[in-house]
Amino acid sequence: MKDMRYIRAASVTEITDNLKKYGDKAKILAGGQSLVTLLKQRLVSPNVLIDISRVADLNFIRKTKKTLKIGALTTHRQIETDPFIREHLPILADMEKQLASVQIRNLGTLGGNLCHADPAGDLAPPLIALGAKLKLISATGARTVLAENFFKDFFETAIRPDEVLAEIHVPLLPYFGNAVYIKHSTRGVDTTIIGVAAFISKDIDTCREVRLCVGGVGSVPIRAKNAEAAIRGKAVSKKIMAEAGKKAREEISPVSDLQGSAEYKKELIEVFIQRALKAASKGGRKGA
Ligand SMILES: Cc1cc2nc3c(=O)[nH]c(=O)nc-3n(C[C@H](O)[C@H](O)[C@H](O)COP(=O)(O)OP(=O)(O)OC[C@H]3O[C@@H](n4cnc5c(N)ncnc54)[C@H](O)[C@@H]3O)c2cc1C
């Protein structure tokens, strides 16, 4: 590792001031679960490391009337074990249980996970299916982007070098809404081969709104919009879910990689979209 300046920020202002000063010569350090490996492998070599792990203002889980606000430094384990999340947004707690190991969940943060933008990351698909937004702060102000628009390419996001991801805003489930995340990997702790998140809200049996997001099959998490259109406004039946699975298979062009061939992933997309829809449409969890 080359020599670099280490700054331990004590506040959000200190983070943004340093980002303004050093720009793309600086790198934020949160839980270090991904960044330290990249540093060791010399895949990144910043001049300045801004350690944000002690900034208490970025570690919180706060409920407002219709939204759950989560600070970017909140760890995976905090989400997994939070009683409110377990009851009212169980998709997030269930997803966390399937993410890496307890050791990594104890240190890895939500902000780090999203900004690392691993295409196989488990957090992004549920957030996109739930319609979450991300609040980015710089020395000159704040802006909010839809989680869906945050991911640009393999390990690339919409965040600017002078910005820190500060908060994640997750809409609470509507009264007759439900959301699930299911993933497939060789073993529990292995890289996600496919992860599908499904959000659905219904009027009795008719689908009022649906969002489907598939991770692990492309450079970024992908909304299956043709599959959603196949279900929206219709009675949710086995036939309609099979139709949605086929649409998703047609509309998504997976990449072949170490996890499997594109053709194998197409098969997985069709099957997992149906499974996620089946599981999501069973519920009608009570909103908060
Ligand atoms: C062995 C192993 C297995 C894993 N398995 C999985 C898995 O199955 N599924 C999964 O989803 N993840 C997995 N991860 C990733 C892990 O869950 C963490 O989410 C991830 O490492 C990033 O979190 P961190 O806080 O450690 O970020 P860091 O490593 O500190 O930072 C990661 C990147 O994000 C940037 N960054 C961090 N916080 C911010 C911020 N607030 N604003 C702007 N930029 C920021 C950093 O500059 C860096 O570029 C795994 C990691 C390891 C080491």
Nearest CA to ligand 1 atom 17: 108
33 alpha carbon to ligand 1 midpoint, in Å?
Answer: 5
What pLDDT, on the 0 to 100 scale, is given for residue 287? 44
**C-beta contacts of 237-242 below 8 A and 24+ residues apart:** 241/273, 241/274, 241/277, 241/278, 241/281, 242/274
What pLDDT, on the 0 to 100 scale, is given for residue 33? 96
What pLDDT, on the 0 to 100 scale, is given for residue 86? 96
Q: Which of 28, 44, 137, 150 to mutate to test the pocket of ligand 1 (most atoms within 8 A of CB)?
A: 28
Coil/strand/helix, residue 89: coil
Instruction: Give how far Cα 286 sits from Cα of 68, 127, 178, 261, 276, Å.
Output: 15, 19, 8, 39, 19
The total of other beta-carbon atoms located within 10 Å of residue 102's CB is 10
Nearest CA to ligand 1 atom 3: 100
189 alpha carbon to ligand 1 midpoint, in Å?
Answer: 15
What pLDDT, on the 0 to 100 scale, is given for residue 78? 98
What pLDDT, on the 0 to 100 scale, is given for residue 255? 85
3 alpha carbon to ligand 1 midpoint, in Å?
Answer: 22
The structural domains of the chain, ordered by start, are 5-51 (3.30.43.10), 58-171 (3.30.465.10), 177-282 (3.30.390.50)
What pLDDT, on the 0 to 100 scale, is given for residue 286? 44
Q: How far apart are CA 260 and CA 252, in angstroms?
A: 15
Nearest to 52 by CA among 35, 69, 67: 35
238 alpha carbon to ligand 1 midpoint, in Å?
Answer: 37
What pLDDT, on the 0 to 100 scale, is given for residue 204? 85
Q: Which residue intervals of 155-213 are DSSP H helices?
A: none
pLDDT per residue, tens digit, the chain (288 aa), is: 678 999 999 999 999 999 999 999 999 999 999 999 999 999 999 999 999 999 999 999 999 999 999 999 999 999 999 999 999 999 999 999 999 999 999 999 999 999 999 999 999 999 999 999 999 999 999 999 999 999 999 999 999 999 999 999 999 999 889 999 999 988 766 789 999 999 999 988 899 999 999 999 999 999 999 999 999 999 999 999 999 999 999 999 998 888 889 999 999 999 999 999 999 998 655 444
Coil/strand/helix, residue 58: helix
- In this structure, the residues whose C-beta lies within 6 A of any atom of ligand 1 are 27-35, 72, 76, 99-100, 104, 107-109, 111-113, 115-116, 121-123, 159, 164-165, 192
Q: How far apart are CA 94 and CA 39, in angstroms?
A: 31
What tokens does 129 get? Answer: 């299916």
Q: How far apart are CA 23 and CA 13, in angstroms?
A: 15
Q: Dmax over Cα atoms in the chain, in whole Å?
A: 62
Instruction: Give how far Cα 169 sits from Cα of 63, 110, 263, 270, Å.
Output: 10, 12, 35, 30
What pLDDT, on the 0 to 100 scale, is given for residue 188? 67
Cα dihedral across residues 280, 121, 183, 246: positive or negative: positive
HSE (CB half, 13 Å, CA atoms) of 100?
Answer: 19
What pLDDT, on the 0 to 100 scale, is given for residue 288? 43
